[in-house]
Structure formats: C-alpha cells, structure tokens
Amino acid sequence: MSVRESVWNTAPTSAPAQRGDRYTTGTAAHPAKMLPAIATHAIRTYTQPGDLVLDPMCGIGTTLVEAVHLGRHAFGTEYEPKWARVARANLVLATRQGATGRAAVTCSDARHLLAHLAPERHGTAALVITSPPYGPSVHGHVRSTRDSGERGVIKRHHRYSRDPHNLAHVSLDHLLDAFTEILIQCRKALRPGGHAVITTRPWREQGELIDLPSAVLAAAQPAGLVPVERCVALLAGIRAGRLIARPSFFQMKNVRDARRAGVPLAVIQHEDTLVFRRPETRAYSGQPKCRAGDARCATQAAHTPGTVCTFRSRTCTTGRHHDLR
C-alpha cells in the first residue's frame, strides 16, 4: 500500500496565540503540549460532528478540548494526576465557552485504555490522536536571573514527571514495547476504517540520532494498524513563501552550540505526523478465525456446525456468524 505525503499548515500563529483564552493558566506548565491546530486539522479531516475521538496520552487535554469545540465527543487517559486535573479544568472551561461535545478524562496508564472506556464504546471511535514522550526532559521555559543580581537563566517547566514508572523515563526499547501495547488498545477502540494520528519527532542523545518516527511506524504493524499517510505538521509560520521558525530559547542554544562544534543541526520546524487506519476487516485464509463461538459476525461469514474455529481451537456447534479478526 502506498503512503500519501502532505504538509499541514498548522502554525499560522504561535502556540500561545492558538491557545488564547481557551485553556486555563495551569496549562502553560506542561513542557510538551500538542499544538492545537494539529489536533484541529486531524479532527476536521478524519471525523464528523458527533464522532468519538480518543487520546490515550492526553496531557493537558489539547485533543479533547479541540474535539468538543468542534462538536465531537472525546475521551482521554493521562498517567500523571497533575496533568489529568489540568485536562479536566480545560474541559470545564470549554463547556463554559459553549463547546457542544462531551468529554471525560481518567487518570490511568494508556496501556489500560479499554478498561476505562465503556464496553459499548469499544470499536466505535473514529479517531485516535496522541504522541509518545520524547524523554524525561524537554525544553520548557526559561527565566532570566538578572533581577536577582546573578547572570544566566533558570530552566523551569521542563519535565513531564519525576515518576520513574512514567514512560518518559524508560529506554527506547521499553518505550516502543509499551507503545505497541497502547496502539493495540487504540486499534481495538477504533471502528473499522477509523484513523490514528501519531505526532512525533526524532531527537539526539549523546550525538546519536534517535529516529522515533520510524520506530513508531514499526510498532504499528504488530498492533494491526496500517500506515496511510506520513505528513509534516508545521511548527513554523509561512510568510512570503518562507518558513518563520518559532524556536524556544534552548532550541536555539543547542543548535548554536552544535554548529560551533561542527555538527550541522537545524532548528526544529515540524512534527512528523503519522496516520494509520484500522482495516475494515482482517484478511485471512483457510478456515475462519473467530473471537467467540457465539459472537455476531461483522463480515457476514459463518461457520457451519462441525467447522473448527482455529483461533479458539474449538469445534463450532451453533452454525452462527463469528466475529473474525
């Protein structure tokens, strides 16, 4: 299957301008917020009003807030209690501002998404939007120390969490194993034909490039998701045909330090945005593989009495339709 490519013009204004008065003041403390325009573009592209949107690693709730403002319903899980509280506050604010969608947030590990989503909602979501953590520390914010009579800057709001069990603190291999589990949960939550949008980017660790986007593509395959698009979601504006970068203080510092050392780094201008789809049905050959002997079959295929169900290794006695996968 060919994978489409495109560019999303998602930064015509800065991130603070996009959030404006739609988010509470506590939102600013999160060090790695999704750009609201990325969530908005994905929701408008892959869903219709009334659809269900999920974010299993929802942070301060950007996906959920943008979904309810667009008349969609949303559900998110967030591992850190602090950010889950901020996400709920942002949803309360969205409702006060007239958002018509309904949403909820639970504080939980994303690997247990389905355990917190109502059973009747399993297999009904139109869209998942989420992003894996890039590490325990990101650029955050800086404050000058000149007022205190000292020279330099103080770094703040640059950590997801200090909890060692947070996936931001684990090795890349462990992160990808866990993220595969999360994607399996997402695939089961999506309706057939539903989409998952994963925003990510590479980073350098001790000079070595960590290609997280390619690793996420690899993780999606065992999860049963099919890649359909690989896009660039801009973090820079466009003026007169040129990109206008909006780097943080530490992005600029790191790039300048690297270039002085002879490493040709560039300021980050975009997020890699990977789009996957849950297949309408899973291809199979030979005898059908059913999930439950008396389940209703969405594909209108059926066992006949005496046929062996190879998934459950059991002989069918009912002759009913079976749910294939």
Report pLDDT for 305.
Answer: 46
Give me the percent of the chain exceeding a pLDDT of 90. 56
Q: How many domains does the chain have?
A: 2
Beta-carbon contacts of residue 254 (< 8 Å; ≥ 6 apart): 265
Domain containing residue 297: 284-325
**Which residues in the chain belong to E strands, given as ranges?**
4-8, 52-55, 73-78, 103-107, 125-130, 141-144, 153-156, 190-200, 203-205, 208-210, 226-234, 237-239, 242-244, 270-277, 308-309, 314-315
pLDDT at 272 over 60: yes
152 has pLDDT over 90: no
Q: Return the DSSP state at 108.
A: S
Shared domain for 13 and 132, answered yes or no, is: yes
- Asked if 91 and 234 sit in the same domain, the reply is yes
Amino acid 265: pLDDT: 80
Are 236 and 269 in contact, with CB atoms under 8 Å apart? yes
* pTM given for the model: 0.76
Residue 122 buriedness (CB in 10 A; 0-12 / 13-18 / 19+):
middle
Q: For residue 149, tell me if it sits in a domain.
A: no
Residue found under tokens 């980073």 = 203
In a domain, 207, yes or no: yes
The number of beta carbons lying within 10 Å of the beta carbon of residue 104 is 16
What pLDDT, in 10s, does the model give residues 211-270?
A: 889 989 999 999 999 999 999 999 999 999 899 888 877 778 888 888 898 888 888 889
